[in-house]
Structure 1
Amino acid sequence: MAQTITAPAEVDERQPPTELFRHLRSTPGGLRSREAARRLTVYGPNELSRRQARIWPRQLLAQFTQPLAVLLMVAAVLAWAGHSPALAVAVVAVILLNAGFAFVQERQAERAVEALAAFLPLSARVMRDGELVEVPGRDLVPGDVIEITEGDRICADARLIDGSVAVDLSTLNGESLPAVRTADTEHVPGPLLEARELVFSGTSCTAGQARAVVTHTGMHTEIGRIAALSQRGHTEASPLERQVRRATWIIAAVAVTAGVAFLPIGVLAGLGWAAAITFSIGLIVANVPEGLLPTITLALAAGVRALARSGAVVKRLSAVETLGSTTVICTDKTGTLTENRMHVTHLWVAGREWAVAVAGRDRLCRELAVAAATCTTARLPGDGVSAGGGDPTELALLRLAAALGVPVSGSSRDSARTVLYAFDPRSKRMSTVTGGHLHVKGASESVLPLCTRFLDDSGRFSALTDSIRDEVAAAVDGYARTGLRVLAVAQRIAEPDLLAAGREAAEKDLTLLGLVAMVDPPREAVPAAVAAAHRAGIRVHVITGDYGPTAAEIAAQVGIGDGRRRVVTGAELEQMDDADLDHLLGDGQEIVFARSSPEGKLRICEALRSQGHIVAMTGDGVNDAPALRHADIGVAMGRSGTDVAREAATMVLTDDNFATIVRAVEAGRRVYDNVRKFVLYIFAHAVPEVVPFLIFALSGGAVPLPLTVLQILAIDLGTETLPALALGRERAEPGLMSRPPRSPKAGVIDGRLLLRAWGVLGVVSAVLVTAGFFWVLWRAGWEPGATLPGEVYAQATTMTFAGIVACQVGTAFAARTDHASLRSVGVFSNRLLLGGIAFELVFTAAVIYLPPLQAVFDTAALGGAELLFLAPFPLLVWGADEIFRAWRRRRGADATKEAPSCESATS
């Protein structure tokens, strides 16, 4: 009978090895091959899997049932029925394009999980049948005993049973410094990732050698848990997508209802069935904005291209608009707020502090810089390697020596070195031997206890008394409080054989040369970007795996927190329930979350979203993938980020710069405003297109139909398209980033827009167009009910068609601003709009004056009198809207003036 094996999820990996082996039914000699094969059948392969397989044909087909797609299909059918196959084909092409965009978007989560799988190695060294053999990484099972050495990528979560290793955990916790893991350690309560006896799948061994027993494999590992979090839920539609979907259903319902409702009205009014059907089709076509979706798509695409030029690659078109409604930015620190480039700012030598700018004139400072630079392995660009490379801290020390006029050449340094004692994460120091000189650098708490003397201000080696030690400790604490990282530098002069006899023998009786304080400085553009975000009503939180006080200091330097430093550690966050977290995030204060975990980052994101915020979340590591996936806008780092983060994110920063996020928010607001502008432009023409059909129906046919269906299609998909696209490229209005974020519930199409489109621009245009139509009939001597000659009727409908186009020109200029006057943005500043209007006029002239097109669209040439009648239409339409906006601005100014008095009255 087979033994019962404890399920991986039930194993307490932090218990002593003897008990762990008993629970796993294993031994320090590993498993037998037959037992390992059986467990592989029970637990499955050691690999990441998708929660649910998606059938891509079904995903793709679902895109064609979206309301915009359905509405465009109706428009395509109408265009085909109206003998315009070219227009029908163009609309179908737009449907296919949008379906492709949405399909690609939905598959991003699957690609993120595939990228996570790249962190798992192909093979591992395992004890099987009492021998150390190499097996595929996917064949590991709980109970296996694996060997881990320097350079290995760890295949599974495991508990060390002997030895000690330094492990790079940055893929899981975001910290760049290696963490020491050792078998002979006492159990200390705390987060799992900080357990000193555990190693995790997907991390790398940077030093040491050890053996470990596998406790979890596949999706039960920490990296598997992150993969599961990344797959949880689904990508939600952006505010624009939701609003346009709702608006298009409303438009479609209104169009179809109006067409069906007026069909019997037309018959009862005395029209024949053929005329009534023609009227109904015309009413539907007039109400359906065929150009709306392609115009939105192309405007968003233009926004994507503009963001790419400024350093932000957006992978989903609708994300451009979502950026504009961002209310909270959750940002990482290193490389996003900072330059990710260590820079030495101060030196402490012989009881005196020196700024680097003036330290070059002091001999002791130069000696300190040379000693620190000698104890490195990095190289600056041009020093034997074109791009340079190495630890950022060591690069900072090399730059320090060069700045003080005592550069240290990497090639000469390495050739003269006789012994290298590499950086030990446990002792937090590194040493090098050059002849009879030992140079040591490391954390002050590591180096200072080994020192017995120090270099005094006269350049002599003096005894390191307790008072001097207290002075050094005070200097270290002072630097740490200001967010600086401190290294102590020491040396020893002795016989080369003694210094080469081993680390323990060499690193004693040291002489303290001084302290080096350095910082990863904030990016130059970040303070201004944070200030711009605050002016725009956007709150900024810092979520980092770094040390709290350091992160708080950087946040304060760039203006986050408004002078108040609120730091919440990962342990404190874990102890909070949801109500406490909601209260913390709801008080309006900006917070630094330090030592954050993947779950913590995801909790913060979901808590903010539950409060109605639109969240932009930055990240660069594997541990950031779940939060990037579930934020409204996931922002990954292009330079320092992992493939996993880039796949999970919606936007990738090619320059890793926080300022680029704020520029993207500004671009998103501009795109949203421009979407409203061309929606206004398109909707304004519905009134002058519908009114002629109402006149025709309500007169019972006594007034001839002022506009044909084909002429409406020529307007909706011909003359209005290019100006609408040009409005999508309009520059930002003044004060764009000085107003608060709009509510996610605020629709693109709201009452204010409809009032302006239908109540102002639409009514004025309808009055002018109708006047032009009846003016032509009056000049021809027409009376109600009389039969018109074909040439007169064609000229009258052409006048209506041309009148709508003329009003479009005025509407285009009026739609360029939502609040400000046209003069504030420049009458002729949008050259694309001028080009679009020029095309519109040329296209209209071709439809009116070219015989082949006259036959298609039932138009007739207009004379000079008709053209003079049409000439003031654009100015009248624009002027009416300019007066309306001036009245609204005056009302807004009056409301603002009254607000303080109201507040004072209540106080």
Structure 2
Amino acid sequence: MRHPAPQPPSTPAPEPDPLEPLALLRRELGTGARGLSGREAERRLAVYGPNEVRSTAGESVWRELTRQLAHPLALLLWAAAALAFIADIAVLGWAIVAVVLVNAGFALLQERQAEHAVETLARYLPEHARVVRDGSTFDVLAKELVPGDIVLIEEGDKIPADARLTEGGVEADLSMLTGESAPVDRCAGPALPGKPLLEEPNLVFSGTTCTGGQAQAIVFATGSHTELGRIAALSQRTRRESSPLEQQVKRVAWLIAAVAVAVGVAFLLIGWMIGLPLTDALMFAIGLLVANVPEGLLPTITLALAVGVRLLARQGAVVKRLSAVETLGSTSVICTDKTGTLTQNRMRLQAAWTPGHGTEAGPWTARLAEAMAECTTVTRDERGDLHGDPTEEALVAGAAALGGAPDLTRRDERRTALFRFDPRLRLMSTLIRPEPGGDHFRLVVKGAPESVLARTTDAGAGNGHDVSQARAAADDLARQGMRVLAVADRELPEPPEHREQAERELRLLGLVGLYDPPRPEVAAAVRRCHDAGLRVHIVTGDNGATAAAVAREVGIGRPELLVIQESEKVTDRELDDLLITGPESEIVFARSSPETKLKVADTLRAHGRIVAMTGDGVNDAPALHRAHIGVAMGRSGTDVAREAATMVLTDDNFATIVTAVESGRRVYDNVRKFIVYIFAHLTPEAVPFLVFALSAGTVPLPLTVLQILAIDLGTETLPALALGRERAEPGVMKRPPRSSRQSIISPAMLVRGWGYLGAVSAVLVMTGYFYVLWRAGWQPGDPTGPGSDLHHAYLTATTATFAGIVTCQVGTAMAARTEHASLRQIGVFSNTLLLYGIAFEIAFTAVLVYVPLFQHMFGTAALPADVIALITCFPVIVWGTDEIRRWTVRRRVLRREDPTPAGVEKRR
């Protein structure tokens, strides 16, 4: 009988501690020098599962699509389409259906971004690995590796799993996990107590790359249990939430739906009560419903966002989700990396200190320069460009500046031994053969000041300067934000047998301070952030002193700067105190981990802050998902970070984030301008029927259903779209960020739209209507139907109402261009698209008024010259009254800010 294959348990065996003594780790993993047996590897594969990053099952496409089609705004547009079909306007109905489907499809694509990020993570794993099993070396599929396998690693290999080195040493590129671009050395040996896992010098991690050396390692974690798998799991758990704009659009949709339905039902009942034929009452109610449903709302918002996306793309920021542009505008906190974002990611020699001379330059600095260039491994290509570790590149370039221009070819020819950088010793040294005629070898050492100075004697410090003074100088350079290295040498009569014999009794040559300078534009960008009420925190894997120095240089630290040296150890309660309930300080989170960034984003979100978080490594993916705006680096960032982020900086520049915030604020303002514009037309469209109803029919209907539809769908659309491209108002980056709870529609907007612009337009429109009727001798109650003497006058009057609303739209569009400033400040002719839109709606109105075919269809008649002259004044009146209102508001604000009475000179 055939037995079923063993199934993986729901909870695999507890993971071993990779930092315990190697003998104990081997015993726990049940493996020796010959590796696992083939059969044992198969059993473990069944228990632990394949060594791969797997995504969880997502929601079905159809379910997601259904949810998008049932969005409140989509429901409103479905209703508008249905009403259009009822009103026998099929073209309009199909157009609205198309808008719903296009927007649903676009939203569906955005929902799939998290899955793409996990798929990108999987690409970091190699396809094959070399493993020792049954005492022999095999090539196996990387996904078949199991805990306890012995793997062989060489230069150029991708690390197939999390493993501990048992023999040899390698140089590894961990940038995808740590975000730090410089390769690190990993070698076999005992663990260092108190080190974070990613900094432990005997461990290598899945998905990273071996850039040099050879080693043997024992696998202790595979698949979802690796650092890479853990990040993938975090990325899948942090699903994207609706943006503030998306939430606001839902509220606007319900408000507009309620208003449209209420108006339609109310006028249907009023028409029925005053004896209007049911068919006429129903048609007019449908007309009002269609008129008050803003079919152009979503396309206009989409256009405003798309314009912002195109603008940002030209300025170095690629936005992958349209609504993210608006979210940027509501950002209240920016959490940024240091290296490459605030700084230029270009290390350079900033200072040199020599015993007996301090920072004074002279022949002694040339000796220091020559020695620090000797103790490097960088190379120079045919064009003269340096290649290698960024720190060593800075040392070679700095040596040339100090007068010790190195000959790298001669350096390699003279070298007889090289002791690579050891993370435990924190030293690197090189042995140089004797010069012609000489009999002593020269050992040159560079490394951390505390390591070098511990091996330097007072006598070796020279010129009366003891080691304690050198330590004080190193501390001073570190406080200035520099990475400090000490350089020393020693003469030996013969090559040493062991490294420990050589790196002692050293003579100190000096200290060098390396600095990654801030980008020149960052300081101004930080000032703009502070003017706009944004707080800027630094979340970095670097040490606190260096990050704090950069922060102070670019102006971060308002009103004060707090530095958290070991941010991994900060608890949730401490984060609450630091970020929310404590003083409004800006913070440097040093030595941060993926969980630190995620915890910071979660804390800020939980308290209503809108967070923009930068990142470039795989380790940043969860935080980029969780933040409202995940900002990835386009040049230095990994594919995973770019997939997880909402925005990618093609120039890796912090200043571009601030530009994006300004663009987001402009887009939000433009959406509000558009809403004011469309709301302002409800009043002049509703008042004519209200006059008809309240007069019990003695005043004939001033407007027909088709004329309302012509206004709503024909003349209104292009100016509304043009408002989405309006330039930013002055002072847009001088006001604090808005609350995430603030509605996109405020009471002041409703008062301005319905009660001010709408009321002025309604008065003007009804004035034009009654002017035409009274000029023809009409009295209330006189018949105006077909065949009556006043029928042509009535057609002319309704045409005047129609044309009057259109001209009032022109004034409303010009007024809506600015919420606070005067029109002159933003430029009367600065929005070319709006001018084209106004020209189109005037031409469209003229066609409907003067072309016989459309006269018959829409019930219009040619307007006489005096009526044209009258309605031509309407735009100026509508815009002018609102300009006066805004001027009054500005004066009131100025008096509140400066209560000194006018005409009274201040004392100087």
Q: Same fold (TM over 0.5)?
A: yes
- 1:845–1:420 distance in 2 versus 1, CA, 3 Å: farther
Q: 5+ residue gaps in structure 1? A: 455-461, 900-907
Q: Give distance in 1, aligned partners of 2:48 and 2:503.
A: 49
Cα drift, residue 759 of structure 1:
0.6
User: Is residue 46–residue 141 contact of structure 1 (8 Å, CA) maintained in 2?
Assistant: yes
Aligned counterparts, 1:824-839, within 5 A: 824-839=825-840
| Cross-structure match for 1:368 | 368
Between stretches 173-182 and 344-353, larger displacement belongs to 173-182
| Cross-structure match for 2:762 | 766
Cα drift, residue 651 of structure 1:
0.8
| Cross-structure match for 1:669 | 665
Cα drift, residue 160 of structure 1:
3.9
| Cross-structure match for 2:65 | 60
Q: Give distance in 1, aligned partners of 2:461 and 2:540.
A: 42
Q: Give distance in 1, aligned partners of 2:531 and 2:317.
A: 22
Between stretches 67-76 and 594-603, larger displacement belongs to 67-76
Name the amino acid aligned to 1:269: I
| Cross-structure match for 2:906 | none
| Cross-structure match for 1:72 | 77
Specify which of 767, 783, 787 is matched with residue 786 of structure 1: 783
Cα drift, residue 811 of structure 1:
0.8
Q: Give distance in 2, aligned partners of 1:423 and 1:295.
A: 59
User: Is residue 373–residue 408 contact of structure 1 (8 Å, CA) maintained in 2?
Assistant: yes
Aligned counterparts, 1:472-483, within 5 A: 472-483=470-481
User: Is residue 421–residue 431 contact of structure 1 (8 Å, CA) maintained in 2?
Assistant: yes
- 1:385–1:231 distance in 2 versus 1, CA, 3 Å: farther
User: Is residue 452–residue 464 contact of structure 1 (8 Å, CA) maintained in 2?
Assistant: no
Cα drift, residue 559 of structure 1:
1.4
Q: Give distance in 1, aligned partners of 2:85 and 2:497.
A: 90
Specify which of 197, 217, 225 is matched with residue 192 of structure 1: 197
Name the amino acid aligned to 2:260: A
Matched, 1:809 2:804: no
Specify which of 741, 751, 759 is matched with residue 755 of structure 1: 751
Give the SS at the match of 1:566.
strand
Name the amino acid aligned to 1:574: K
Q: Give distance in 2, aligned partners of 1:192 and 1:415.
A: 39
| Cross-structure match for 1:30 | 35
Q: Give distance in 1, aligned partners of 2:793 and 2:283.
A: 20
Matched, 1:316 2:321: yes
Q: Give distance in 2, aligned partners of 1:818 and 1:620.
A: 38
User: Is residue 19–residue 191 contact of structure 2 (8 Å, CA) maintained in 1?
Assistant: no
Matched, 1:145 2:150: yes
Between stretches 212-221 and 161-170, larger displacement belongs to 161-170
Name the amino acid aligned to 2:246: E
Matched, 1:584 2:581: no
| Cross-structure match for 1:523 | 519
Q: Give distance in 2, aligned partners of 1:847 and 1:4.
A: 75
The C-alpha deviation readout for 1:840-893, integer Å capped at 9, x for no partner, is 222222222233433443322222111101011011111221222233233333
Give the SS at the match of 1:352.
coil
The C-alpha deviation readout for 1:157-187, integer Å capped at 9, x for no partner, is 2344444445443332334455555554157
Q: Give distance in 2, aligned partners of 1:306 and 1:435.
A: 63
Aligned counterparts, 1:815-894, within 5 A: 815-894=816-895
Aligned counterparts, 1:664-813, within 5 A: 664-783=660-779, 784-789=781-786, 791-813=792-814
Cα drift, residue 38 of structure 1:
2.7
User: Is residue 8–residue 215 contact of structure 1 (8 Å, CA) maintained in 2?
Assistant: no
Matched, 1:131 2:136: yes
Name the amino acid aligned to 1:663: T
Between stretches 290-299 and 187-196, larger displacement belongs to 187-196
Q: Give distance in 1, aligned partners of 2:423 and 2:634.
A: 29
Q: Give distance in 2, aligned partners of 1:736 and 1:770.
A: 38
- 1:135–1:658 distance in 2 versus 1, CA, 3 Å: same
Matched, 1:240 2:234: no
Q: Give distance in 1, aligned partners of 2:793 and 2:33.
A: 102
Cα drift, residue 209 of structure 1:
4.0
User: Is residue 333–residue 551 contact of structure 1 (8 Å, CA) maintained in 2?
Assistant: yes
User: Is residue 568–residue 593 contact of structure 2 (8 Å, CA) maintained in 1?
Assistant: no
Cα drift, residue 332 of structure 1:
0.8
The C-alpha deviation readout for 1:133-161, integer Å capped at 9, x for no partner, is 12111111223222334443222223444
The C-alpha deviation readout for 1:595-652, integer Å capped at 9, x for no partner, is 1111111111111111111111111111111111000111111111111111111111
Cα drift, residue 213 of structure 1:
3.0
Cα drift, residue 372 of structure 1:
3.2
- 1:872–1:416 distance in 2 versus 1, CA, 3 Å: farther
Name the amino acid aligned to 2:372: A
Give the SS at the match of 1:71.
helix
The C-alpha deviation readout for 1:523-549, integer Å capped at 9, x for no partner, is 111111111111111111111101111
TM score, norm. by length of structure 2: 0.90
Q: Give distance in 2, aligned partners of 1:793 and 1:130.
A: 103
| Cross-structure match for 2:619 | 623
| Cross-structure match for 1:458 | none
Cα drift, residue 109 of structure 1:
0.5
| Cross-structure match for 1:444 | 449
| Cross-structure match for 1:597 | 593
User: Is residue 65–residue 104 contact of structure 2 (8 Å, CA) maintained in 1?
Assistant: yes
Cα drift, residue 326 of structure 1:
0.9
Q: Give distance in 2, aligned partners of 1:167 and 1:249.
A: 56
- 1:187–1:404 distance in 2 versus 1, CA, 3 Å: closer
Matched, 1:338 2:343: yes
Name the amino acid aligned to 1:767: V
- 1:665–1:432 distance in 2 versus 1, CA, 3 Å: farther
- 1:186–1:749 distance in 2 versus 1, CA, 3 Å: closer
Aligned counterparts, 1:73-112, within 5 A: 73-112=78-117
The C-alpha deviation readout for 1:804-825, integer Å capped at 9, x for no partner, is 1111111111112111222222
Q: Give distance in 2, aligned partners of 1:370 and 1:20.
A: 45
User: Is residue 329–residue 665 contact of structure 2 (8 Å, CA) maintained in 1?
Assistant: yes
| Cross-structure match for 2:486 | 488
Matched, 1:574 2:573: no
- Percent of paired sites with the same residue: 59
Cα drift, residue 413 of structure 1:
5.8
Between stretches 585-594 and 430-439, larger displacement belongs to 430-439
- 1:516–1:785 distance in 2 versus 1, CA, 3 Å: same
TM score, norm. by length of structure 1: 0.90
Alignment: residue pair count: 881
| Cross-structure match for 1:170 | 175
The C-alpha deviation readout for 1:292-320, integer Å capped at 9, x for no partner, is 11111100110111111111111111111
Please give the root-mean-square deviation of Cα atoms over the aligned residues, in Å: 3.0
The C-alpha deviation readout for 1:336-368, integer Å capped at 9, x for no partner, is 11111112122223432447xxx5xx3333443
| Cross-structure match for 1:904 | none
- 1:467–1:417 distance in 2 versus 1, CA, 3 Å: closer
Cα drift, residue 680 of structure 1:
0.8
Q: Give distance in 2, aligned partners of 1:10 and 1:451.
A: 43
User: Is residue 355–residue 508 contact of structure 2 (8 Å, CA) maintained in 1?
Assistant: no
Q: 5+ residue gaps in structure 2? A: 436-441, 901-908
User: Is residue 619–residue 628 contact of structure 1 (8 Å, CA) maintained in 2?
Assistant: yes
- 1:701–1:213 distance in 2 versus 1, CA, 3 Å: same
- 1:847–1:599 distance in 2 versus 1, CA, 3 Å: same
Q: Give distance in 1, aligned partners of 2:818 and 2:610.
A: 25
The C-alpha deviation readout for 1:446-488, integer Å capped at 9, x for no partner, is 445566799xxxxxxx874774333322221211121111223
Aligned counterparts, 1:340-489, within 5 A: 340-354=345-359, 359=361, 362-378=362-378, 383-385=381-383, 389-404=387-402, 407-408=405-406, 421-427=419-425, 428-431=427-430, 433=432, 436=435, 439-448=444-453, 464=462, 467-489=465-487
Cα drift, residue 229 of structure 1:
0.9
